[in-house]
Amino acid sequence: MENLTEEKLFAQLQELIGNISDLDEAAMGQVQERLDSLTKPQGSLGQLEQIAKQLGGIQGTSNPQIKKKAVLLMAGDHGIAAEGVSAFPQEVTPQMVYNIMNDGAAINVLARQANADVFCTDVGVAFPIEATGNIIQKRVANGTKNMAKGPAMSRQEALQALLAGAEVAQEKIQAGYNLFATGDLGIGNTTPSSAIVSLFTNSPLEDVVGRGTGIDDAGLINKRQAIQKAIDVNQPNTEDALDVLCKVGGLEIAAIAGSILQAAASRVPIVVDGFISTAGALVAANLAPKSTAFMIPSHGSVEPGHCKALAGLGLEPVLNLNMRLGEGTGAALTFHLVEAALHILNEMSTFADAGVSEKS
């Protein structure tokens, strides 16, 4: 893929987007009929019912099933870290990649509890990473450039990272996975995410920029200033999602967007994690508006911009746990709710089965 021209990469992206179609309305109607016949007041299970209906529409059946679950975690570093926007040094990114490889991170624990597998893809870590175990190597560059001084990446690199994320999703679909979660890893990545969310939702930076890994008040002011400088220097065109992505985005954010696009094209539901993942989802939605129908929201992050990002996608979180870790942790927890929705749909008795009187 690295040898392809920008034009050929763009053609591949357009082909991928062209494969995304609408949800199956007939299947959703059948799921709704089944839900309405179950021994409960109609709609009383709220978002669980909505998830069941969505899964029916995605899979095109009144009896949707989950076979194998995977967290697709994308890792990358950020040149903007040189502006002091994070409380942690960049060396933490590769250290956490290996922590995930060794099953020691929060996402490993939560995914294991959900009976899901974790795959961590290096699309832009600034340090050497070997492809071994659950680590996938698809590096586009050794991190992004400092977006406060110019574009974070070239348009070609943005396309490569998008398609790398799509490739990972496609490989896992071919291996039998049919429910995904997004995840992220990369010191400084709330900074480009804030820029993306601010631009796509037309929100002031004061409303979207948070403390990330725990910066102090002075650090927060500096972070906002760095993002404003990046926007001023690069002048991203919000009518062109690729322009926003390459100027103020991240390689792992691009890969997250690509994994969402591939999931949508393959009719596989994908649970969107926190702030960084939702920035990637905004990129995907601006490239392919139909892709939002295949996204399942997870939790509401403490990061202030997350609610803006979710609103921009028309999504409502199913969990509020005051989390802000990333890695796909909130999405992995949401796997339990997705499966609960299917158990309700497929296992609960109808009024007729149970001999229970319906509403008069």
Q: Given this model, what pLDDT does residue 197 score?
A: 98
Share the mean pLDDT of the chain: 97
Q: Say whether pLDDT at 1 is over 80.
A: no
pLDDT digits (tens, 9 = 90+) for 65-117: 999 999 999 999 999 999 989 989 999 999 999 999 999 999 999 999 999 99
Please name which of 238, 298, 290 lies closest in space to residue 267, comparing C-alpha atoms. 290
> Length of the chain, please?
360
**Average pLDDT in the 261-275 region?**
99
129-151 pLDDT, tens per residue? 989 999 999 999 999 999 999 99
Average pLDDT over residues 113-124: 98
Instruction: Give mean pLDDT, residues 264-276.
Output: 99
* Position 2 pLDDT exceeds 70: no
How far is it, in rounded angstroms, from Cα 47 to Cα 315? 11
The pLDDT-based confidence of 359 (bands split at 50, 70, 90) is confident
Taking the model in full, what pTM does it have? 0.97
Check if 327 is active-site: yes
pLDDT digits (tens, 9 = 90+) for 278-311: 999 999 999 999 999 999 999 999 999 999 999 9
Q: Which CATH number does the domain 69-339 belong to among 1.10.8.590, 3.40.50.10210, 3.40.190.10, 3.40.50.1220?
A: 3.40.50.10210
- From the list 327, 339, 347, 358, the catalytic residue is 327
Q: Was domain 6-64+345-354 assigned CATH 1.10.1610.10? A: yes
So where are the chain's domains? 6-64+345-354, 69-339
Q: What is the percent of the chain with per-residue pLDDT over 70, rounded to a whole number? A: 99
